[in-house]
Structure 1
């Protein structure tokens, strides 16, 4: 049975004179109305058709321009082609081998990478360059629509089961994989985000992560795309984030903890408040109460601060407010604590698989927001996907538990479990306690040495200007209060952790463990 779902044209048809997208660039901004966005999509769809793009073609879209990413992706979907979202980083070549794309659409820098590193060969037959490209051979794709009336966006009819998009995972815990989104998947994600945000007609969304610019207009929101450094979000100038919030009256801020930290610190240093903000959604890594406290100083008292849990393959899954997050710190009798993720969202079903005697196991999720498959990766499907009465059940690779209230708790990645001699440690169980110590920005538990007899090492990043001795004493006190804290064999101070390229929030534990091993050389066999 197939289910028809609303298409992009239906989402964009209403209120053509209202703002769809505000694109910020170093002190300037470009405003695009919904009508202009429809015109742009129409023009691009015609240009794509003229270039030979056909229904079913897979088209890599690689650009840091929020308008180009949005309009090109919409136009491809309207044609029945499949946009493929992938970040320019190590491993792109293997990702494109999985996808075998027919089309490569990107800014000049992406095409230089494609030509130099032979991305997509021999599959790419239609290379199209967006933006200025005077020195690059190949066909230009004009993405800016001329002024004029609003043509109807001719859309190929599709049903909910048809492939709509492929979005690659960040690769922070292994080889990136292409998650398939059917039209029904995208519709489920929009429904879940609508339930989570409760968008109002006058809301303005600040998109702290580039692909969010794709979803904002479909949610009916004016979407502000700040000048984030998308190759290293944590290095973004905070003025480029706070300025647009104030200038455009952003009411919803959606960003990773790394980006939210920039906002909170800048507001704290300058004494700035953000009176228009009614909701902050943190995603990409657990929200710590210290960051929530800092954000609270900048927003109105009745603003909602949410930690949102999900993954590329299932977004969103659950959410929890900062007030409940502070209250949910009680360790279950004989069990693991970790970080509370809140109740699963309506329509989302969470299960714990392979649970031990304490209830700790792998979090698995089913529901309308779940990607049904990985593209051309039957091995990954066999490991992570199974069919149930509630649809595809996806193994997240995250360790967790369900409490008596039906709330999810996060204990870290299954692949990051520390296995010592006669014990195991879940990273989030230790880190959630240590991160709450005074003077600590964040901590990371890594295992050094051979599996099954690893030495648990807690790496500690202090807050700026905090004496090392003070921080170490506070962390030791936190570990003494933790029933498994005595298992930690070493504490190492490090300023700055290696992180994932997408959010700059997920810690690259393999690199950090290598650094810790070098520091402890001679102590560990």
Structure 2
């Protein structure tokens, strides 16, 4: 067995009756204990083996069910196969071209897309369908076109050669910890590929980040440092893949019915209800999901008395949202903005008190948003820095994905080897201050290049977002590169006066050292955002919109 984290065996063996997962939907919930999760993984591994899944196979898993996703990922690990996670809204066809999967496991809707759009047509030899039913997943994992729930059998096209003997699925096999593995990056055979997770594609073509077992172990260790989990903790996963980590982190994991295709359109009650019913102590979610929760609590004068930690990830946490969250939790609770990416998660964290202090009185020469200090074992550098210390944030350490799958050109552009392991260029602009804290200035690709100057996005946006009546802002460049007109797009709060909010933004710009460079302030009803977290702004689309609005001025 090759589950990634030392001590995993002890967690399950010592506490088999403890809750592992709680799946919530429309006011109801289904609970799975740790022992049941082990048994489900056993049953699934047997069924997958019967269907033709073999060690080394890459298996795309597309399901919205937290239990199915987790049990399938663990079962694939038992067999030595590699789970592949792809956003259903991303460029799935191109992702599958990169990964060339042998296996495709998904809900009927995912298989409809596979057939109609030809996803993985030349590679997938083992297609399997998960069918929603109250029975165990192992009893409803079927081959497309199969009429009953009997054994999956070997689908047409699978390797007809003599199969290897069935895997040893006894509890010691499933639960044995991987201390015997060599986790040195230069020894890939001793540190096999554990998972491929595709980026969201919000800043370009999605890429498959490879996680070795040491990568997952490093990520779990870093998250444990952040969470400092207690036996009585209950974790709410506002992003489905977090369900994979719940049993490894320790706390019972509650997965609310967040809309997987549009998180920002989730009903707030679907988040609040599970928190109150299951006495959640730790919330992990994106700013979009946390904004729904905080807004609902403010409107209805509700509080979250059991919550002791909120971790925001996926986009910078603004002080306005931090204030709203702070008002809903006990005074001693911790509100953290966590920085990282699919290729390196987590990197650093900054609590809301430090975030406000840094915004109010930034150190001399610093600007943007404070990301806090890198976590233990994580090493941050600033590459290609200018005279002010502004450059590209690069990260090395145990949480860093060592490579992209089948994308050597992307590896060449972003990866290098250092004394601390693989160094990954994040594409983010930032600085390191004298206290060793990281500061974020925006994406390198989003620099606004005017005539004789460049503007990073984050410094101006973080200031403008504090204006009364403003939900958020986005700085984009209108017109051709090198002579762009800086335009600040403004999303006004629904309850605010648009003229007053825009006037407040202009007042902030008048006080900002670079505010005079902004050539236009444009109101926008709702910014286009990334599909995964609904928190990162799609600046290319927004810049196109601004360019069309200002076409007369740009001639």
Shared fold, TM over 0.5: yes
* Aligned-pair CA distance for 1:518: 1.4
Query: Corresponding residue for 1:271?
Result: 301
Within a 5 Å distance, the mapping from 1:249-398 to structure 2 comes to 249-329=279-359, 330-333=361-364, 335-398=365-428
- 223, 237, 243: which one aligns with 1:193: 223
Please list the CA deviations of residues 114-171 of structure 1 after superposition, one character each: whole Å capped at 9, or x if unmatched.
Answer: 011000111000000002499952598899xxxxxx9616349765421000000010
Query: Corresponding residue for 2:483?
Result: 453
- Structure 2 residue 506 is matched with structure 1 residue 476: yes
Query: Corresponding residue for 1:147?
Result: none
Structure 1 residues 63 and 321, CA, compared in 2 at 3 Å: closer, same or farther? Answer: same
Residues 364, 393 of structure 1: 8 Å contact kept: yes
Structure 1 residues 90 and 162, CA, compared in 2 at 3 Å: closer, same or farther? Answer: closer
1:135 and 1:124 map into 2 onto residues whose CA distance is: 13
Q: Which moved more, 1:53-62 or 1:127-136?
A: 127-136
Q: Say what the alpha-carbon RMSD is for the aligned residues.
A: 2.0
Query: Corresponding residue for 1:43?
Result: 43
Residues 352, 361 of structure 1: 8 Å contact kept: yes
- Structure 2 residue 539 is matched with structure 1 residue 509: yes
Flag structure 2 segments of 5+ consecutive residues without an equivalent.
133-139, 152-168, 184-190
2:222 and 2:197 map into 1 onto residues whose CA distance is: 18
- Structure 2 residue 87 is matched with structure 1 residue 87: yes
Residues 280, 306 of structure 1: 8 Å contact kept: yes
> Number of matched residues?
516
Give the SS at the match of 1:395. Answer: strand
Query: Corresponding residue for 1:408?
Result: 438
- Structure 2 residue 250 is matched with structure 1 residue 220: yes
Within a 5 Å distance, the mapping from 1:64-83 to structure 2 comes to 64-83=64-83
Q: Which moved more, 1:340-349 or 1:87-96?
A: 87-96
Give the SS at the match of 1:319. Answer: strand
Residues 127, 143 of structure 2: 8 Å contact kept: no
1:429 and 1:362 map into 2 onto residues whose CA distance is: 15
Query: Corresponding residue for 1:124?
Result: 124
2:128 and 2:285 map into 1 onto residues whose CA distance is: 30
1:300 and 1:509 map into 2 onto residues whose CA distance is: 36
Query: Corresponding residue for 1:239?
Result: 269
Structure 1 residues 89 and 139, CA, compared in 2 at 3 Å: closer, same or farther? Answer: farther
Flag structure 1 segments of 5+ consecutive residues without an equivalent.
144-149
2:7 and 2:503 map into 1 onto residues whose CA distance is: 57
- Structure 2 residue 156 is matched with structure 1 residue 137: no
2:148 and 2:375 map into 1 onto residues whose CA distance is: 43
Give the SS at the match of 1:13. Answer: helix
- What TM-score do you get using the length of structure 2 for normalisation? 0.90
Structure 1 residues 184 and 452, CA, compared in 2 at 3 Å: closer, same or farther? Answer: same
- 154, 164, 168: which one aligns with 2:194: 164
Query: Corresponding residue for 1:146?
Result: none
* Aligned-pair CA distance for 1:195: 0.5
* Aligned-pair CA distance for 1:90: 3.9
Please list the CA deviations of residues 443-462 of structure 1 after superposition, one character each: whole Å capped at 9, or x if unmatched.
Answer: 00000111000000000001
1:142 and 1:39 map into 2 onto residues whose CA distance is: 19
- Structure 2 residue 291 is matched with structure 1 residue 248: no
2:442 and 2:531 map into 1 onto residues whose CA distance is: 19
Query: Corresponding residue for 1:32?
Result: 32
1:165 and 1:127 map into 2 onto residues whose CA distance is: 19
Structure 1 residues 324 and 331, CA, compared in 2 at 3 Å: closer, same or farther? Answer: closer
Residues 16, 34 of structure 2: 8 Å contact kept: yes
Query: Corresponding residue for 2:551?
Result: 521
1:244 and 1:403 map into 2 onto residues whose CA distance is: 40
Please list the CA deviations of residues 343-382 of structure 1 after superposition, one character each: whole Å capped at 9, or x if unmatched.
Answer: 0000000000000000000000000000000000000000
- What TM-score do you get using the length of structure 1 for normalisation? 0.95
* Aligned-pair CA distance for 1:12: 2.9
Within a 5 Å distance, the mapping from 1:12-27 to structure 2 comes to 12-27=12-27
